[in-house]
Each structure stands twice: as structure tokens, then as C-alpha cells.
Amino acid sequence: MTTKSAKKPCADSFGTKRELKIDDASYQIFDITQIDGMSDDALAKLPYTVRILLESLLRNEDNHHVSKGDIEALITYNPKAPKPVEIPFKPARVILQDFTGVPAVVDLAAMRSAMVRLGGDAKKINPLIPVDLVIDHSVQVDAYRGKDALAKNTEIEFDRNKERYEFLRWGQQAFSNFRVVPPSSGIVHQVNLEYLASVVQQRSDGEETILLLDSLVGTDSHTTMINGLGVVGWGVGCIEAEPVTPRHTLYTYTPLFRPA
């Protein structure tokens, strides 16, 4: 997935940004192996999940949401003596299921209505990071024990929830960085594993194309299954996931750094 970046320029205090050429294409990456003052041995001892968080911090360092001190706290991470600090985390994407995802789209629609009432441009209200909504929690079994059972259930499903699906279709067409996976495509964590996970994402930042490690928060309890692909994913509640979506508020995760 390639999306446009809306963040401030990276401070790159540790000098990790470098060019990576693949065939005839040129990309920018934030290479954690190039961190000034960090030995290869110290890096090798960092858990893989912490390395992915570290790449996120290096890439998002703006001296506002992410500071040099935040990065230093992660570089010096010691599982035997964890520090009581919070580490800001900006996920690469958000995944929602329909039970909790539809209210998030309603919130975005309400924000657009408010923008219009204030005389502004409604198109300025969009998710700032990619959001996928998988419709899988409302499917019921009305037909069974027949070769056409799936087709019949799908037809009934679309008829039963016609207004909701019309609304979500509007949302997919109206908002940038927002996709809807229709019913009968699979359960949310299966779709996440088999179709949505990219492991590495592309982001357009001006004239540069940045490669970044895939990571996410999701409103499904099985979101963490994605970790099996090397993608850091946390299952969170809708209230925690929604702020990440329209305003790109930092989602902080602290248990790794909480004293025992």
C-alpha cells in the first residue's frame, strides 16, 4: 500500500535515514543498524518487537510527538530492569471490524458535517493513516446444508443491512486512506493475515518514497495473530483505536516498560 505522508519532517538525530536501491527504484529507509553509538551486540539483544517500535520512533522523530529522549529510552531497553516510561507508538495502519468500525466512520462523517457548517472544506477530514474495515460480525446463517448456502446467506445479508452497507460504500468513496472489505470475504483476523498485511509499506513523502515496517492496532481480539508474520499488532478497544484514525494521536503502550 502506498499512501501520502502528512507528518512533520523527521529530525533524524541518530543519522539512520539512508537510501536503498531496488532494481531501478530508489527508496528511503530508517536503518536501526546505523544508530549512532549503538553496538551491534546491543542491537542483537533487542527483542524483534522492540526493534520494530524503534524503527517507528526513528521515522517519526519530530521533537514534538516523538523526541530524541523517547528513542534513547528504547535503545537502552533492558528487560531485566525496565524503565517506568511511556513509549509513543504511531502504527502504520488501523484495522476495524464492523461492530466497532461503523461508529468510527459515523464520527468521521459527523466531523465532515461540522466542517461544512463552519464553512470549511469537508474533504480535509480524512484518516491520516490507512484504515481497513472488515465486515464479518453481522453475517448470520439462514440457509445451510446446500451448495448455494453461502450465496443465499450473502444475499440475505446485503438485503438485511442495506442501509449500513450503503453508508460504508459512501465512506470508502468519500474518504482517503479508507477501505471496506465486504461480507463473505472472511473473518477479520484471517483477512488481516492473508490480504492486508504487507510486512513492508510504502509512503510518499514529497518526492521521496519511504519504506517502513508494517504495524497496526485493531479492534479485534485476534489482532495479535499478525505477529506471526513479523508484523507488530495490538488488539485494542474502539475508543483506543479511533483517536489514531482521524487525528493520528499517539497510541502509547507501556507494559514493556513498567516496573515489575
Q: How far apart (Å, rounded) are the C-alpha atoms in residues 169 and 95?
A: 17
Residue 216 lies in a domain: no
pTM above 0.75, yes or no: yes
Looking at the structure, tell me whether residues 14 and 115 fall in a common domain.
no
Looking at the structure, tell me whether residues 78 and 110 fall in a common domain.
no
Looking at the structure, tell me whether residues 183 and 59 fall in a common domain.
no
Looking at the structure, tell me whether residues 14 and 99 fall in a common domain.
no
Please, are residues 185 and 177 in contact by the beta-carbon 8 Å criterion?
Answer: no
Looking at the structure, tell me whether residues 72 and 164 fall in a common domain.
no
Please, are residues 9 and 62 in contact by the beta-carbon 8 Å criterion?
Answer: yes
Distance separating the N- and C-terminal Cα atoms of the chain? 39
Residue 50 lies in a domain: yes
* Beta strand extents in 77-176 (DSSP E only): 87-89, 93-97, 131-134
Domain with residue 41: its CATH number is 3.30.499.10
Q: Of 46, 71, 89, at which residue does a domain stop?
A: 89
CB atoms closer than 10 angstroms to residue 92: 23
Looking at the structure, tell me whether residues 132 and 241 fall in a common domain.
yes
Per-residue pLDDT of the chain (260 residues; tens, 9 = 90+): 555 555 567 889 999 999 999 999 999 999 999 998 888 888 888 888 889 999 999 999 999 889 999 999 888 888 788 778 888 888 999 999 888 888 889 999 999 999 999 999 999 999 888 999 998 877 788 999 999 998 898 889 888 888 888 999 999 999 999 999 988 888 899 999 999 999 999 998 888 999 999 999 998 888 999 999 999 998 886 555 555 555 433 333 333 333 33
Q: Of 73, 89, 105, at which residue does a domain stop?
A: 89
Looking at the structure, tell me whether residues 139 and 225 fall in a common domain.
yes
Q: How many domains does the chain have?
A: 2
Looking at the structure, tell me whether residues 54 and 112 fall in a common domain.
no
Q: Of 31, 60, 89, at which residue does a domain stop?
A: 89
For 37, the domain range is: 2-89
Looking at the structure, tell me whether residues 124 and 242 fall in a common domain.
yes
Q: Mind listing the pLDDT tens digit for each residue in 136-189?
A: 877 788 999 999 998 898 889 888 888 888 999 999 999 999 999 988 888 899
Looking at the structure, tell me whether residues 73 and 113 fall in a common domain.
no
Looking at the structure, tell me whether residues 162 and 242 fall in a common domain.
yes
